[in-house]
Chain A
Amino acid sequence: NAGVTQTPKFQVLKTGQSMTLQCAQDMNHEYMSWYRQDPGMGLRLIHYSVGAGITDQGEVPNGYNVSRSTTEDFPLRLLSAAPSQTSVYFCASTAQRRNTEAFFGQGTRLTVV
């Protein structure tokens, strides 16, 4: 069982470039989310989705877009990368039950130069 799969694991971008971080889950979870982790700040919510076709903003959404065309996939798009977006990005999926844990992908370490 693969769980939550993120690609790529590492990426270096130049300022102004765009890219998509891929996330796929095979647990048939309704909920998926993107977080970023910066030193000393824990994980912060970027965007999330409660199901196919439904997305919403989290705590730090600026500079990012998401879409959810299928239950399995939840890509995160950086439209014009900035050095402030240098971070580790985690995708997570959760079942609908309230007392269940989130399953995280392995993370993507992104550096914007």
Chain B
Amino acid sequence: AQKITQTQPGMFVQEKEAVTLDCTYDTSDPSYGLFWYKQPSSGEMIFLIYQGSYDQQNATEGRYSLNFQKARKSANLVISASQLGDSAMYFCAMRGRTGANNLFFGTGTRLTVIP
């Protein structure tokens, strides 16, 4: 069975500091994809970053990077130089086994950036 675990219901970070949001996963599939989405208070789901299981390097997108440790089955999101606009819910997700690239989500982490 596939499972995504986000153990931090809430996190606080000082503005301009870096923060790591944890995500661990479980799957028996050798090929899988991991995603992070941001959900601000307005409610929309915003794609941040993707990591494939066979990717040799950790994914980076601007201030976002994914610390992918395959042996530990972890895919932590690192946000550098936090901004007030980073305050939001963050969801880790794994591409499911169904034939439609569906996503299996964790329960999310609420990040609050303190000025």
A70 contacts which chain B residues (CB < 8 A)?
A: none
- Interface size classification for chain A: 20 to 34
The total of chain B residues at the interface (CB under 8 A) is 26
**Could you tell me the distance between the alpha carbons of A44 and B50 in the complex, rounded to whole angstroms?**
19
B96 contacts which chain A residues (CB < 8 A)?
A: 45
CB <8 Å contact, A107 and B43: yes
- Residue A43 interfacial (CB < 8 Å): yes
Q: Mark B72-115, 1 if CB is under 8 A from A, else 0.
A: 00000000000000000001010110111111111110000000
Which residues of A line the B interface, CB within 8 A?
A: 31-33, 35, 40-45, 48-50, 56, 58, 88, 90, 92, 94-96, 98-104, 106-107, 109
Which residues of B line the A interface, CB within 8 A?
A: 4, 31, 33, 35, 37, 43-45, 47, 50, 52, 91, 93, 95-96, 98-108
